[in-house]
Amino acid sequence: MRKVAVVMGSISDWSTMKLATDILDEFEVDYDRHIISAHRMPKVLQKFGEQAQENGYAVLIAGAGGAAHLPGMLAANTISPVIGVPIESHALHGMDSLLSIVQMPSGVPVATTAIGSAGAKNAALLAAEILALTDKKVAEKLIEFRQKQTQEAIESEKQF
């Protein structure tokens, strides 16, 4: 199985991005965590993106707040799929991050999820779905996950 890179711009993004790794753990998907600032570490970012495939990364999940250049700059330096997670910021509650990530120019796609915790979880699920195209074990875990969600929804009706 190929692995996922979970990349964030700073340690302050970890509380959100940990939710992505929790999902990856649940699906037994191999991943590595990295802190790479697009603004403070541009050469490291470029090298990481350029070497992503040779380092075995099938998918990159990139969480970024504020100007949120990390996902787009990674996407510009790799052909591996990049999933951007807008981190909720204090100034604009993540809208700045969302717009920075989702408004990529034609030719450099970044799949973009919701702001914050839902986005981090969905980024991991999307990465698992991409891996499931060629990994039967991950596909089976996704099917079980969806069935469990359905059953929980059905059972929730009994609570009121």
Count how many domains the chain has: 1
> Residue 130's domain spans which residues?
3-159
DSSP 8-class letter at 157: G
Q: What is the pLDDT of residue 1?
A: 47
Give CA–CA dist 20/59, Å, rounded.
13
Q: pLDDT digits over 75-124, tens only?
A: 999 999 999 999 998 889 999 999 999 999 999 999 999 999 999 999 99
Q: CB-hemisphere CA count at 13 Å for 90?
A: 2
Contact 87, 16 (CB under 8 A): yes
Strand partners, 62: 7, 84
Model-level pTM greater than 0.85?
yes
Q: CATH number, domain at 77?
A: 3.40.50.1970
**Rg, the chain, Cα only:** 16
Tell whether residue 10 is among the known ligand binding residues. yes
Tell whether residue 13 is among the known ligand binding residues. yes
Identify the burial level of 114 via C-beta atoms within 10 angstroms of its C-beta, where 0-12 means exposed, 13-18 middle and 19 or more buried.
middle
Q: pLDDT digits over 2-33, tens only?
A: 899 999 999 999 999 999 999 999 999 999 99
